[in-house]
Structure 1
Amino acid sequence: MDSPQGAVPPQPRPTTPDRPPVARAWRLVAAAAVLVSAVVHVVLYLDGYDTIAVVGPLFLLNAVAGLVLAVLLVVWRHWLPLVGGIGFGGATLLAFVLSTTVGFYGVNETFAGTNEIVAAASEVVAVVASAVALLREYVR
């Protein structure tokens, strides 16, 4: 059948997946968690970790990378920042676990203290929230 005169042709499907509000909320949670971890690391850096040879610069790098990643999670609607959130949280948490068990570049921490607990919790949240947002946005 021919379409009637003046009918609007169907619109092409968008190239980016539709992002339901729930997925956007998970992105915001991931961004907040990454930002909290970054803030804790800059606080610890300024509280004396800046004098530790390898770990000090890694804390500063973590803080800067966390800030950039938090912004990207909010403004860049792509899968890459979500994978970055998983990697950031996982790698940072792994380094903390290493420092509390076998040591990490000469640093032996304990799993105690407000900064440590807040950072570890935020890193777990960053991994989970980034993974959930990734699944909700890109797995159909």
Structure 2
Amino acid sequence: MTVGGLLAPATRVGTAATLAGSGYIHARLYADGYRFVHVVGPLFLLQASVSFAVAALLLIGMPPLLRLAAAGVALGALGGFAASRTVGVFGFTEHGLQPAPQALLSILAEAGTLLLLAVWQAVAFRRRGVSGGSAGAGGRYLVLRPPAATAADRSLTTASRVATGFRP
């Protein structure tokens, strides 16, 4: 199997693992006392449940809607983390990287999820018709290739030229 052939399953499994890791951290925090925090406690349980569900589905495949859901879960957790340390979430505030080490591990898991999703998207974009070109002095840049014209496209183009009187 080639490196490119291993990248897709490795990225999928890695994304599922980081998302499940974030879910596990939130589930443990819920069990260890956050369940008593009004509104925030149930949100921790919701985040853990959704993380586990999306992670399990990612092991089956990675359609665009599922990748978007994974990114949303990770961004939501990071947004909640940032809000809890600045303006507060439903009156609940925390400071620094407390509780330790869960806060730091959660940030790393969610950032890892987003990083792996970005890698997946970059590889998928590259495989869909993007190739390298030269930018002078040995540099490289991405060049988009238009899709190949089909027979129907060519006949439509010919018909439109005849109808408009266009002569090349």
Q: Aligning the two structures, in what range does the TM-score lie when normalised by the shorter sequence?
A: 0.7 to 0.9
Instruction: From 36, 39, 58, give the equivalent of 1:73.
Output: 58
1:138 Cα deviation (Å)?
4.8
Q: Does 1:119 align with 2:130?
A: no
**Larger relative contact order (Cα-Cα within 8 Å, sequence gap ≥ 6):** 1
Q: Distance in 1 between matches of 2:17 and 2:96?
A: 22
Q: Does 1:34 align with 2:34?
A: no
Matched-pair identity in %: 31
Query: Larger radius of gyration, structure 1 or 2?
Result: 2
Can you list the C-alpha shifts for 1:9-54, whole angstroms capped at 9, x where unaligned? xxxxxxxxxx832122111111111001000000000111111121
Q: Distance in 2 between matches of 1:81 and 1:20?
A: 21
Q: How many residues align?
A: 122
Q: Does 1:104 align with 2:98?
A: no
Instruction: Please say if residues 12 and 61 of structure 2, whose CA atoms lie closer than 8 Å, have aligned partners that are also in contact.
Output: no
Instruction: From 118, 136, 140, give the equivalent of 1:131.
Output: 118
Which runs of 5 or more structure 1 residues have no equivalent in the other structure? 1-18
What is the TM-score when the length of structure 1 is the normalising length?
0.80
Instruction: Name the structure where strand makes up a greater proportion of residues.
Output: 2
Correspondences of 1:79-98 after superposition (within 5 Å): 79-98=64-83
Q: Distance in 2 between matches of 1:119 and 1:137?
A: 27
Instruction: Please say if residues 22 and 106 of structure 2, whose CA atoms lie closer than 8 Å, have aligned partners that are also in contact.
Output: yes
Once superposed, which parts of structure 1, at least 4 consecutive aligned residues long, lie more than 4 Å away? none
